[in-house]
Structure 1
Amino acid sequence: MWTLQDAKNKFSTVVDAALAGTPQEVTRRGKPAVVVLSATEYHQLLKQAQSRRGSFTDHLLSYPGGDDSVERAHAAPRPVDF
């Protein structure tokens, strides 16, 4: 794990380690901030995440709202004077 200042000072070392297959964690003010990883590994993670995610349409169609399981509020409009 690198501090932000050390990672800035030795950025090529951080990048080399990430390219060698070891993601590099960087902290800011003692708290985890970012992870540097190779572009290949990033694209693999992105592809895996996208393959597990269904489409937005599928998400909407999977809503079980057709059986009146959700009671809706019946609010009357408020009077408005002009």
Structure 2
Amino acid sequence: MVIECKHVWEHISGYLDGTLEPEVLRMVQEHLEHCEICSAILDSTRNILILTADERVFELPLGYSERLHNRLDEELRGAEGGD
């Protein structure tokens, strides 16, 4: 049985936690061997977990928060306008 990308994404957390049933684990591993997109998502998710578990604190550049909020406001306005 072949598993699609959207199903692999649903199982990323269980894959990383080691909680998948053996058959699901096998299907996910097979898919990851051949799918660069899902492999990249797995790597990115793993990196996010590593970074969020790290206790280091990073200073944001001056004005970053304001720029981020402005950009989010622009994106939301664009989405509401039907873009």
Q: Larger RCO: Structure 1 or Structure 2 (Cα < 8 Å, ≥ 6 residues apart)?
A: 2
TM-score > 0.5 by shorter chain: no
Give 1 or 2: higher helix fraction.
Answer: 2
- How does the TM-score come out when normalised to structure 1? 0.28
Structure with greater strand share of residues:
1
Bigger radius of gyration: 1
TM-score by length of 2: 0.28
